[in-house]
Structures are given as C-alpha cells and as structure tokens.
Amino acid sequence: MASLFGCQLAAATWMSWAAVNGRRRGWWIGAGVLLSLVALFFALATWGTSDITKLNHFFAIYPGGGTKGEPFWVLVGPLIVASPYRMAAVHGLVAAGYAAAPILLAWRWRALAWGGWWSLLICCSPMLRGFLQNAHTRQALALLLLLPLMLWAGRLVDPRRPVIAVGVIWSALVHTTFPINLLLSLSPLLMRDRATGSPINRWRLLLALGVLVTLVVVVAPRALEKMAAYAAVSFFNHYSVTRYVQRLQWTLALGVALTCWRRRLGAMQLLSCSLSRQLALFSLLFLLIQASVEWEWFPQLTFRFADGVGFFLLITYLAWIHRYQAYAFLLPALLFTLHYWLFERILNTETLACGANDSFLCIPDRWPWQVRY
C-alpha cells in the first residue's frame, strides 16, 4: 500500500511537470494513472471494512439487500455481484470520483500544475475519514453527485444544466440522506451576491422546484424513519474532532491568514466577497458539527454529515485559494495531509488485527474468486 501511495505521488509530480512544460496530453495521461491508482488503493484497503462486508453479505442474499429506500443499488445489484470484491470495487470507483473532482476543477480553472496535489489533498484528508476510509460508499456517492449543484450555487463554475439535473435525481436514488445533502449543496445560495444581468426563466425555475419538491417528498418518509432509528441509538464516532482534523483546520486557517497578508485583504474586503462568505459558512457548519460531537448534542445524527461538510469546505477552500492566486499558501495543509496519510495511516499499521475484524488498510488475503459471501 505504501508503494501504491508512492506511485500516486509520482503521478501527481508528473502532472505538475507536464503542466509546466505544456504537455497537455501527458497531463491527461498522468491524471488517468492517478485516478486508476486511487481506485485500486481504496478498493484493496476497504475490502474487509464493516460497511463493505455487510453490503457484500446482503448482496449475496439478494441484489440491493440492506439498501431499503435506495433503489439505485437494487438496479446495479447484479453488476456489483459480478465485480471483484463487490462493494469494495464500487468504493474504489467512488474514491476515484472524489479524486477526479479537484482534477477537473484544476483543468477548468487553468491550474493544471496543482491538479494532482489537490486530488491527494481531498483523498488523503482526515476530514473524509468516514466517507473514504470507513467506506460509507453510498452516502459518499450521494454527496459527490450533488457537487455540480453546489458549484453552481456558489458560482464556482457553471456546470451544464443537464449535468446538475442528472446529479440531483441520481443522488436522490442513492441514499436517504438526500434531503439534508440537498440543503448543504444549496447553502452557498445564502452567501451569494444578488443576481444581476439576464432575467430568470420562471418556467424553468418552477419546473426545477417542482422536481426538487417531488424528490424530497418521495425520499423524506424513509429518511425520517432512518433518522429516528439513528436517534434511538447512542453510537457515534469522534473522527471529526481528532487531533489530525484539528491540526488540518489550523493549517487551512494559516493559508487564509497568509493569503490575506500577501494580498492585503481586510475584513471589509472579505465580507464583500461571496466566496469568502461561503468559506466562512462551511467552516462554521463544520465547527458546529464538531461542537455537537464534543459536547454530545445529538452526535449520533450530526456526526454522519461531518464528511459532507468537510468535502464542500475543502472544495470551497481550493476555489478561494484560486480566486486570490495563492497556491503556495496551500502547501501547509497539503504537506500536513500527506504526512498524516503516510506516517499515521499507511506506515502505522502495527495495531491492525487483519483477519479478525478487518480495518482500513487490511488488504485482501485471497483472490476475488476465492471469497465466499
């Protein structure tokens, strides 16, 4: 696994070199190699984790088992059963999707040299431990599909309308947290400047609102049922308040402070910048989730949304760094994330009880066709 991660570092380095030397084709080849390595890494590393094992067992009984209220998994059940290591392979693809998002943003923003490093910042982040390391695959995919909507809401990029629509409908079919994920993805609208320019097409707006309301009404009963079940138990994790997450937050804050000093940004300039307000919004939401976990204010509910808020926070942070052309000040957060990933996760494996209760990074001990579900 350390070797696979080393290859990912090499691919990111190659992408930077290709971008600086104007080798566009080489950059895309490097991106493809990096995404393939990420998919393989997470498929192998999560094959025995609890959520993956549970779903693999249910799929052995009948396709879509254990995913009540999430029809997408019923539809793709036969494909998952035919995949190597089943849901582990799906999780590898979802992780590659998270790696692809910052690469595509770097291409869209013409920051090609940083694409590979941004990708590793997302995939290796302790903020996404639940989604990527604990293999909360379904919720991770549901949130990833709403990224185009979040980018549109914050005016970070302008995705095509069909892409947004497909993402929203698909997300509603993937996980019952859709209503809250939808609110999170639309929250940047609260921080946007008042729209100017061309008038809004009212019919399209009404149609879009009708579709959203319909999706929420269809999903809401099952979502409320699931939320009530979660509220009745006392289980929650402390991933969002670990010292690694807190240190990452400090490095992100350092990058903001250095950028403000370098660009001479004052409080009024930040308040007048909609992107700065969006960054403050997601930072505040993440702090509130941390407070709820630390002081146990319904943590069995709130901890489940820490990864989603953290993902949108990191994406907004990348957009903010790009807005002010302060790429170098991302290095503290990037270096800390890579150090955490290599030394605290990959190389710090003496406590793993592989074969007993397999954890993240316990790689398969048999070939896919030898597994009995």
Q: What is the pLDDT of residues 290-309, one digit of tens each?
A: 999 999 888 888 888 999 99
Q: For residue 109, name the pLDDT band (cuts at 50, 70, 90).
A: very high
With a pLDDT cut of 90, the percent of the chain lying above it is 56
Provide the whole-model pTM: 0.91
Residue from 85, 159, 38, 114 nearest 365 by CA: 85
Each residue's pLDDT tens digit, 54-91 = 888 888 887 666 677 788 988 888 888 889 999 999 99
DSSP 283-303: HHHHHHHHHHHHTTSSHHHHG
Distance CA 307, CA 344 (A): 19
Stretch 232-249: mean pLDDT: 86
Stretch 169-196: mean pLDDT: 84
pLDDT at 198: 47
153 and 52 Cβ atoms separated by less than 8 Å: no
pLDDT at 290: 94
Distance CA 274, CA 282 (A): 13
pLDDT at 195: 55
Quick one: CA torsion of 91, 96, 98, 99, rounded to 10 degrees? 150
Average pLDDT taken over every residue of the chain: 88
21-30, 177-186, 237-246, 353-362: least confident range: 353-362
Q: Which two tokens stand for residue 167?
A: 């993402």
Stretch 313-326: mean pLDDT: 96
CB within 8 Å of 299: residues ≥ 6 apart: 236, 292, 293
Residue 149 has pLDDT above 80, yes or no: yes
* 277-286 per-residue burial string, b: 16 or more CB within 10 A, e: under 16: bbbbbbbebb
Residue 20 has pLDDT above 50, yes or no: yes
pLDDT at 27: 95
Distance CA 189, CA 186 (A): 6
